[in-house]
Amino acid sequence: MSRAATAHASVPACRRPPDPAGGAQGAAGRLLRSLRRAAPALGAYLAVRLCGLLVLARLAHAKGHGVWPTLATSWDSDWYLGIAAHGYADALGTRVNDNNLAFFPLYPLLVKAVAALTPGSRASVGLLLAVGCSFLAAWGVFAVGDRLYGRRTGTVLTVLWGVLPVAVVQWMGYTESLFTALAAWSLYAVLTGRWVWAGALAGLAGLARPTGIAVAAAVSLPALLSCRRGAGRLGRRLTGALIAPLGWLAFVAWVGLRVGRPDGYFAVQRLWKNEWDGGRATVLELRQQLIYESRPPLFLLIVSAVLITSAVLYVLCAADRQPLPLLIFTGVLLLVVLGSAGVYFPRARFLLPAFPLLLPPARALALLWARRPTAVAVVLTAATAVSAWAGAYMLLVWEGPP
């Protein structure tokens, strides 16, 4: 039986062994051992992201742009900084793309709280928070890959997540790094049977991004299914299942109360032209870009390639019989992103947290590593170069948001 199948089978009935050290000292020891094991993966992640940053800085200098404002205060970063400084709107209004209630509160709340205790601007704090969360996310990505297939796969998985075409967003004042960190560690908690932790982290993810509902589903559904099978620790499983969606539900309910209508959050989304249509708009846009456009924008071609590749990778993940929580997480995330009728160009960014989709290529490269390490190094180096170029193009040439 493969490690993935073993982990899958262990999710309903996993029991943590007793901690011989006990209490906080034992937890600190486990944390330190986990960090030491992840250190090579985190070092590799730092290396590939620094390569992207250096390319961006070089091209930004050539075009007369500043790197710091590009990363810290552009597009959605400005919305989050506005929320941190002035709070949320108190009415629905009628203006299109102009209501900040569409943005979830955890990241701007963290920016406001940390900025109140530290020197420097909110923009600097927001950027540093995003970079710090990217390492927590990379650690969580490694932990999931290591848990399922071993250290080598976990390391490759971390590098692949760091060289995605839109990975530059991981070091911007955006929520993707925070959300990925919460999602990865919540999934790891499910795989290791820590149901209350999984639910708590999923609840926080639901306060970070609209797609937090995917993390909640990945915790609640397996927990409830395992309860039906009569597995142990029933109370912990039910607790995790119940608290997982609370963050998302709380913000949606709060927006409704703030604007005075039960569907207030969804009304805000409609003002941003963002409704779920089952994928019709996505298919039409793909057809337009790939068939009818004589010269489609390069960035939109990158987005289209990411969407198609993600769908194919999900089929491979299902065929590989990944653990149910991972399949639920990536499946719901794909349903939300591909099924939306909203703007097309940020969808590659919306899929950035879907790191379990990278497990099939990570496993293949990890197996190749044992026989031909040079070939793996060439593949990952090429991916790093493409990611660095794509990130610089997205921020310096493409005229819209990432």
What separation in angstroms does the CA of 360 have from each of 128, 179, 384?
32, 22, 19
| Residue % of the chain over a pLDDT of 90 | 86
- Is there a contact between 151 and 374 (Cβ–Cβ < 8 Å)? no
65-79: average pLDDT: 94
Write down the pLDDT at residue 9: 41
Q: Is the pLDDT of residue 13 over 80?
A: no
User: Exposed, middle or buried by CB within 10 Å (0-12, 13-18, 19+), for 182?
Assistant: buried
β partners of residue 276: 340
pLDDT over threshold 50, residue 41: yes
Tens of pLDDT, residue by residue over 84-117, are 999 999 999 999 999 999 999 999 999 999 999 9
Residue type, 281: A
**Relative orientation angle of helices 298-319 and 373-396, to the nearest 10 degrees:** 140
CB atoms within 10 A of CB 386: 14
**Residues 116-125: contacts with CB within 8 Å, 24+ apart?**
122/81, 122/84, 122/85, 123/72, 123/73, 123/77, 123/81, 123/173, 124/72
The pLDDT value given to residue 315: 98
Contact 196/239 with Cβ under 8 angstroms?
A: yes
Answer whether residue 136 shows pLDDT above 60.
Answer: yes
pLDDT > 70: percent of the chain: 94
**Token pair in block for residue 393:** 């193009």
What pLDDT score was predicted for residue 20?
41
Q: Would you place residue 351 in the very low, low, confident or very high pLDDT band (cuts 50, 70, 90)?
A: very high
Give the DSSP per-residue string, 201-229: HHHHHTTT-TTHHHHHHHHHHHHHHHHHT
Residues 191-201 have pLDDT tens digits of 999 999 999 99
Query: Which pLDDT value is given to residue 12?
Result: 42
Per-residue pLDDT, 3: 53
Q: Taking residues 14-31, what's their average pLDDT?
A: 63
pLDDT at 4: 52
- Tokens 């060439």, residue? 378
Q: Over 70: is that where the pLDDT of 1 sits?
A: no
CA 238, distance to chain mean position in Å, is 25
- Could you report the per-residue pLDDT of 268-309, keeping only the tens digit for each? 999 999 999 999 999 999 999 999 998 999 999 999 999 999
Q: Residue 63: how many CB atoms within 10 A of its CB?
A: 10
140-186 pLDDT, tens digit per residue, is 999 999 999 999 999 999 999 999 999 999 999 999 999 999 999 99
Per the model's pLDDT, the better-predicted residue between 319 and 370 turns out to be 319
**Residues near 165 by Cβ (< 8 Å), separated by ≥ 6?**
302, 305, 306, 348, 386, 387, 390, 391
Q: What is the mean pLDDT of the chain?
A: 93
- Name the one residue in this structure whose structure tokens are 């929580």: 325
- What is the spatial distance between Cα 347 and Cα 329, in angstroms, rounded to a whole number? 16
pLDDT(75) > 90:
yes
* Mean pLDDT across 249-274: 96
Instruction: Give the Cα separation of 269 and 100 in Å (integer).
Output: 10
Q: Which two tokens stand for residue 5?
A: 């199948």
Q: Which residues of 19-55 are buried (b: 16+ CB within 10 A; e: fewer)?
A: eeeeeeeeeeeeeeeeeebbeebbebbeebbebbbeb
Provide the pLDDT for residue 10: 43
Per residue in 214-231, pLDDT (tens digit) is 999 999 999 999 887 766
Assign 233 a pLDDT band (cuts: 50, 70, 90): confident
Residue 232: the pLDDT is: 63
Beta bridge partners of 340: 276
The CA–CA distances, whole Å, from 141 to 65, 120, 355 equal 33, 30, 7
Instruction: Say how far apart CA 232 and CA 204 lie, in whole Å.
Output: 26
